């Protein structure tokens, strides 16, 4: 009896689990594609991954959008082209009167100001904050002020709550005006060390602060009130303003010939006002106690209801109909969009397959119509099928991306060994000794293009990158000898830092250098997170790198090597390069600008060689023959509103 | 019995507390920036702002805040998938892992036990050797090979089941069978050994001499004794099947918890690492406690030993 009862219970448990975890199988969408990793985030200002961009650009619409074939900017939520002032610094966009959110509301200029401000504010901003600080007038100043405010409020709130400050927080506290006031009035406060003093000194200072009887709460309240009262006033100096209900005025910090390309980028998408219901508030102020702008991160879900929030509202051709974590996202047509009636694929499924091989099998079985990536260990075989024409549904996208090596140009020693790459001659010698064609054609065989320059050649109209260095082993050996390392003598073992996936390419490189230059190369393979940290802190001699261009302009690549740029992993600082880049940033004439940029890039790949471009990726994709309106393109943008199924 | 229960529960809570502390220490000392998600380097100020946002600027503050949340069953945010909370991820994924794990164990028992019994009864015959071959294969074949083979045969060549994914009943059999393979093999082996032991014992000979049919002797008398080692194996096996399905999830695209457990560590996602570790360790501690209690209930003599 008991045994039967147990059996029934177990069966009931299993079947209820099945019902809970298996959804009733919906009908298949009109169009289904794969996203192996799933969505990282749907918050446009936080996203950095191409698959996330893809969804965002289908459910939202910026001031401009991208042409499905050429990816050049075309009209979006605003009339195209906008009014541009004669100094090319002020853009006046007029939002179309038929631009609608997915709940029927009109899209207004304030929605763009809201969206852009989220992309700038500490707390909400992500990797692409620089799009605002680099281009919008006043944005950098506003951010600097906000960051100082956040640092001050954080330190004060932590010390008020009884926590010992970290060295960084103690530094921030000593910098802020509130502290100067206390310091001037109370004589019990210890003298803070110099700002650039070691962490230990600051830690001691922080420990001393613990024992003081100061009314930190009052200090905090005063600082908080002061910051709040200034915040909106300060933001009016940033170059984005709703000058009318449908008029958006944008002021740039410098002329930017590619600005209409940037306005199609996900970080510059608008944001519906309903999000304000999910804003975190501290004592009715629109920031947290630490001064950050924070929204409930679940606002991107279509069925999220809290505080009267109606679920995600977007303004693109599609809306997010359903999103199951790591399983599927379904898009349905936004019936208020001006092109809604013309869209052929009424439903689109983004299906998650962690395993790309399984996704390829599902594609073969007809469960998927489109594979935007085929990153598998047998990618050379896929490239062969695509190139030979044996599989006309396989295509290779020659991407707007470069795989390169960074030489460490700053650290005198690496891991206790002298770093020879501070000498540009050594960098040039190593660059000259690499046979890139061999790597592309004999080692990888994926259909990639040999890279002579950092900017992929032939991708930007009006810009021709320099020729770059050709393989020249005698010249390489001569340069090495000139630098004092004849036949590689006197060189320490060269450390090549890479992530595990680059095994083949790095072994080939090591072999070339060992054979042709007589050096000894040590391969150091690291897991991606520790690799990133080593690279950012210059704990390497040579490191692999890759870069995907974000907008159609050489600066999307070349800016990385400017002195002090956050992505300047080689730590390169070239006075001539910086001058040319700075002159290019203000040049009004397009031809002159292109020449300046070309000159700068020549320094990069022919003279100083802080980086060594190896190849431009070819990304294999698969499109079923009955799918029309999808085009292989360099930036891997695939707007689904132009897609139709013709069986 | 009650004191045993209380003692085991207290011990379990302490174990989980230790696991939390150790995991926390590892999470905050591991090199790498948990907030950096892409190729771009994050400005130090932006990283600091995020640390403050999640109370990670102060290790002790973070330790107590996370613990406080975990005690109230709120594991907070994840950084890799910032639109979801750890709780939502676990709620989506844990039932899937439990379902696949339970089904795998069910299959393992239903196939492994009869195979083991038959192999013991027909000792030395072709069936014994065939089962031995199966056991070898089941234990030594990695699940990613077996899974991919099944996927190619049943998903692509004979399109009976969908090629991976999740959502309908048709998605269940392949991953469950793949996951059950090593367990089936082990259970078959355990049953065979236990059965051989019992079949040679005197009470079996007596039963046979009494004139009972061999069938009755095997299933009614010998099997009951031979099954005990299998029963004791089932406890850890079930926990292992529920928590160790990472490879199977990867091969079949099953949205279970195993992938988050592994990916969280790879992505250095502190919240999700600690949440999955806590869920898994609670599950393991719970299973062990239940098995211990079952033992005590079945055999009161060992209560004192636990």
| pLDDT tens column, A339-380 | 999 999 999 999 998 889 889 988 998 889 999 999 998 999
Residue A642 has pLDDT above 60, yes or no: yes
Residue A483 has pLDDT above 90, yes or no: yes
Residue A446 has pLDDT above 80, yes or no: yes
Residue A470 CB partners (closer than 8 Å, separation 6+): A432
Q: Which residues does residue A542 pair with via DSSP β-bridges, in sequence order?
A: A407, A496
For position A339, what pLDDT does the model report? Answer: 94
As given in the structure block, the two tokens for residue A88 are 């090319």
Contact call for A39 and B81, based on CB within 8 A: yes
Contact call for A158 and B103, based on CB within 8 A: no
For position B305, what pLDDT does the model report? Answer: 55
From A40, A123, A352, residue closest to B80, measured CB to CB = A40
Q: Which of A20-29, A344-353, B121-130 has the lowest mean pLDDT?
A: A20-29
**Interface predicted TM-score (ipTM):** 0.83
Contact call for B93 and A352, based on CB within 8 A: no
From A14, A123, A361, residue closest to B49, measured CB to CB = A123
Element (H, E) at A402: strand A401-407
pTM, entire model: 0.89
Contact call for B43 and A129, based on CB within 8 A: yes
Read off the pLDDT of each residue in A101-118 and give the average, rounded to a whole number.
97
pLDDT digits (tens, 9 = 90+) for A372-431: 999 998 999 999 999 999 999 999 999 999 999 999 998 888 888 899 999 999 999 999
Residue A243 has pLDDT above 90, yes or no: yes
pLDDT digits (tens, 9 = 90+) for B77-118: 888 888 999 999 999 889 889 999 999 999 999 999 999 999
Q: Which of A47-61, A249-263, B158-172 has the lowest mean pLDDT?
A: B158-172
- Best to test chain B binding among A16, A326, A371 (most B CBs inside 10 Å): A326
Residue B190 has pLDDT above 60, yes or no: yes
For position B302, what pLDDT does the model report? Answer: 61
**What's the gap in Å between the CA of B298 and the closest CA on chain A?**
14
Please report which confidence band the pLDDT of residue A27 belongs to, taking 50, 70 and 90 as the band edges: confident
Read off the pLDDT of each residue in B268-293 and give the average, rounded to a whole number.
87
DSSP B66-86: HHHHHHTT---B-STTTTSBH
Contact call for A325 and B88, based on CB within 8 A: yes
Q: Tokens 């948990």 identify what position?
A: B34
Do residues A430 and A423 make contact, with C-beta atoms less than 8 angstroms apart?
no
For position A9, what pLDDT does the model report? Answer: 67
Contact call for A364 and B249, based on CB within 8 A: no
Contact call for A354 and B259, based on CB within 8 A: yes
Identify the CA nearest to A581 among candidates A555, A605, A607.
A555
Write b or e for each residue in B109-123: b if 16 or more Cβ atoms lie within 10 A of its Cβ, otherwise e.
bebbbebbbbbbbee
The Cα–Cα gap between A370 and B96 comes to: 27
Q: Tokens 């997915």 identify what position?
A: A102
From B82, B159, B255, residue closest to A46, measured CB to CB = B82
Contact call for B266 and A158, based on CB within 8 A: no
Size of interface A-B (CB pairs under 8 A): 181
For position A372, what pLDDT does the model report? Answer: 95
φ, ψ at A82 (rounded to 5°):
-75, 170
Residue of B nearest to A299 (CA): B83
Residue A21 has pLDDT above 70, yes or no: no
pLDDT digits (tens, 9 = 90+) for A83-97: 999 999 999 999 999
Do residues B75 and B87 make contact, with C-beta atoms less than 8 angstroms apart?
yes
φ, ψ at A146 (rounded to 5°):
-65, -40
Identify the CA nearest to A488 among candidates A468, A524, A513, A454.
A513
Q: Which residues of A touch B266 (CB under 8 A)?
A: 527-529
Contact call for B266 and A529, based on CB within 8 A: yes
Residue A173 has pLDDT above 60, yes or no: yes
From B43, B151, B268, residue closest to A566, measured CB to CB = B43
The rounded percent of chain B whose pLDDT value lies above 90 is 28
Extract long-range pairs of A206-212: CB within 8 Å, 24+ residues apart.
Answer: A206/A164, A206/A165, A206/A166, A206/A167, A206/A169, A206/A170, A207/A164, A209/A159, A209/A165, A209/A170, A209/A173, A210/A164, A212/A188
Q: Which residues of B touch A154 (CB under 8 A)?
A: 52, 57
Please report which confidence band the pLDDT of residue A6 belongs to, taking 50, 70 and 90 as the band edges: low
Q: Which residues of A touch B106 (CB under 8 A)?
A: 14
The Cα–Cα gap between A172 and A191 comes to: 14
The Cα–Cα gap between A175 and B68 comes to: 34
Contact call for B48 and A20, based on CB within 8 A: no
The Cα–Cα gap between B223 and B204 comes to: 11
From A21, A125, A361, residue closest to B96, measured CB to CB = A21
The Cα–Cα gap between A269 and B202 comes to: 82
Cα-Cα end-to-end distance for chain A? 59
pLDDT digits (tens, 9 = 90+) for A580-624: 999 998 888 889 999 999 999 999 999 999 999 999 999 999 999
Read off the pLDDT of each residue in A42-71 and give the average, rounded to a whole number.
94
Residue B159 has pLDDT above 60, yes or no: yes
Contact call for B49 and A292, based on CB within 8 A: yes
Q: Which residues of A touch B40 (CB under 8 A)?
A: 48, 127, 566-567
Which 3-state string (H, E, C) describes A298-322?
HHHCCCCCCCCCCCCCCCCCEEEEE
Read off the pLDDT of each residue in B161-175 and give the average, rounded to a whole number.
82
From B57, B167, B172, residue closest to A23, measured CB to CB = B167
For position B183, what pLDDT does the model report? Answer: 93
Which 3-state string (H, E, C) describes A276-302?
HHHECCECCECCCCCCCCCECHHHHCC
Do residues B105 and B242 make contact, with C-beta atoms less than 8 angstroms apart?
no
Q: Which residues of B touch A42 (CB under 8 A)?
A: 83
For position B246, what pLDDT does the model report? Answer: 85
Residue of A nearest to B87 (CA): A325
């Amino acid at each position: 009896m008991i045994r039967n009862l147990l059996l029934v219970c177990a069966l009931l448990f299993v079947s209820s689990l099945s019902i809970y975890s298996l959804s009733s199988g919906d009908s298949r969408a009109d169009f289904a594609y794969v996203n192996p990793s799933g969505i990282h985030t749907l918050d446009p200002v936080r996203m950095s991954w191409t698959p996330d961009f893809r969804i965002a650009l289908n459910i939202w619409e910026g001031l401009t959008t991208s042409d499905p074939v050429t990816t050049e900017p075309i009209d979006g939520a605003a009339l195209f082209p906008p009014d541009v002032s004669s100094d090319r610094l002020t853009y006046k966009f007029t939002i179309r009167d038929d631009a609608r959110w997915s709940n029927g509301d009109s899209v207004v200029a304030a929605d763009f100001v809201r969206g852009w401000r989220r992309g700038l504010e500490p707390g909400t901003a992500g990797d692409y904050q620089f799009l605002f600080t680099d281009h919008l007038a006043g944005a950098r100043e506003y951010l600097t002020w906000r960051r100082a405010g956040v640092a001050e409020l954080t330190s004060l709130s932590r010390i008020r709550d009884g926590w010992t400050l970290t060295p960084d927080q103690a530094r921030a506290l000593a910098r802020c005006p509130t502290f100067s006031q206390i310091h001037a009035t109370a004589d019990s406060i210890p003298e803070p060390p110099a700002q650039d003093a070691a962490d230990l000194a600051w830690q001691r200072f922080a420990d001393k602060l613990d024992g003081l009887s100061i009314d930190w709460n009052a200090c905090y309240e005063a600082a908080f009130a002061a910051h709040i009262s200034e915040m909106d006033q300060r933001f009016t100096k940033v170059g984005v303003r709703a000058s009318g209900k449908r008029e958006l005025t944008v002021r740039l910090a410098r002329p930017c010939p590619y600005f209409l390309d940037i306005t199609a980028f996900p970080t510059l998408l608008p944001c519906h006002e309903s999000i304000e219901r999910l804003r975190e508030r501290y004592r009715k102020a629109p920031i947290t106690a630490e001064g950050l702008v924070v929204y409930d991160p679940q606002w991107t879900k279509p069925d999220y209801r809290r505080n009267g929030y109606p679920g995600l509202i977007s303004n693109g051709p599609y809306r997010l109909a359903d999103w199951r974590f790591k399983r599927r996202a379904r898009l349905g047509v936004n019936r208020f969009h001006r092109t809604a009636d013309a869209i052929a694929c009424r439903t689109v499924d983004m299906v998650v397959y962690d395993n790309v091989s399984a996704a390829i099998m599902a594609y073969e079985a007809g469960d998927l119509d489109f594979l935007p990536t085929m990153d598998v260990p047998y990618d050379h075989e896929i490239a062969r099928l695509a190139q030979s024409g044996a599989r006309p549904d396989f295509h290779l996208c020659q991407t707007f991306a470069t795989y390169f090596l960074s030489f460490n140009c700053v650290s005198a020693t690496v891991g206790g060994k002298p770093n020879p790459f501070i000498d540009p001659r050594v960098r040039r010698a190593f660059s000259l000794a690499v046979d890139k064609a061999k790597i592309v054609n004999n080692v990888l065989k994926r259909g990639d293009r040999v890279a002579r320059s950092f900017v992929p050649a032939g991708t930007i109209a009006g810009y021709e990158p320099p020729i770059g260095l050709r393989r020249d082993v005698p010249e390489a050996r001569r340069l090495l000898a000139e630098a004092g390392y004849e036949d590689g003598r006197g060189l320490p073992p060269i450390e090549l830092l890479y992530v595990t996936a680059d095994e083949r390419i790095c072994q080939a490189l090591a072999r070339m250098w060992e054979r042709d230059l007589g050096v000894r190369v040590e391969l150091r393979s690291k897991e991606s997170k520790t690799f990133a940290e080593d690279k950012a802190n210059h704990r390497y001699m040579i490191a692999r790198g890759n870069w995907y261009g974000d907008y159609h302009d050489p600066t999307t690549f070349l800016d990385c090597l400017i002195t002090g740029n956050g992505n300047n992993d080689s730590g390169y600082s070239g006075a001539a390069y910086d001058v040319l880049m700075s002159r290019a940033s203000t040049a009004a004439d397009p031809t002159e600008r292109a020449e300046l940029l070309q000159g700068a890039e020549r320094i990069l790949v022919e003279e100083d060689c802080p980086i060594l471009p190896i190849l431009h990726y070819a990304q294999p994709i698969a499109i079923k023959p009955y799918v029309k309106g999808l085009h292989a393109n360099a930036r891997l943008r695939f707007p689904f509103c132009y897609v139709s199924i013709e069986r | 019995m009650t004191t045993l229960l209380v003692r085991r529960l207290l011990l379990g809570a302490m174990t989980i507390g230790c696991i939390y502390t150790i995991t926390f220490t590892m999470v905050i000392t591991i090199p790498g920036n948990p907030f950096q998600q892409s190729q771009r380097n994050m400005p130090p100020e932006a990283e600091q702002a995020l640390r403050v946002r999640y109370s990670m600027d102060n290790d002790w503050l973070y330790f107590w805040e996370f613990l406080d949340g975990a005690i109230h069953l709120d594991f907070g945010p994840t950084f890799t998938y910032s639109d979801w909370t750890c709780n939502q991820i676990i709620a989506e994924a844990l039932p899937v892992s439990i379902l696949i794990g339970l089904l795998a164990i069910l299959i393992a028992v239903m196939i492994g036990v009869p195979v083991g019994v038959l192999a013991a009864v027909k000792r030395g015959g072709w069936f014994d050797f065939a089962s031995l071959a199966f056991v070898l294969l089941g234990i030594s074949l990695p699940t990613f090979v077996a899974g991919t083979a099944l996927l190619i045969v049943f998903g692509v060549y004979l399109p009976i089941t969908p090629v991976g994914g999740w959502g309908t009943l048709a998605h269940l059999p392949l991953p469950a069978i793949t996951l059950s393979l090593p367990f089936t093999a082990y259970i078959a082996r355990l049953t065979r050994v236990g059965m051989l032991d019992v079949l040679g014992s005197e009470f079996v000979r007596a039963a046979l001499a009494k004139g009972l049919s061999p069938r009755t002797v095997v299933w009614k008398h010998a099997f009951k004794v031979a099954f005990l080692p299998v029963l004791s194996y089932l406890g850890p096996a079930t926990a292992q099947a529920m928590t160790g399905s990472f490879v199977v999830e990867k091969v079949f695209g099953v949205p279970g918890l195993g992938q988050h457990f592994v990916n969280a560590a790879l992505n250095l996602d502190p919240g999700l690492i600690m949440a999955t570790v806590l869920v898994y360790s609670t599950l393991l501690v719970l299973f062990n406690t239940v098995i211990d209690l079952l033992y005590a209930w079945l055999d009161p003599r060992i209560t004192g030993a636990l």
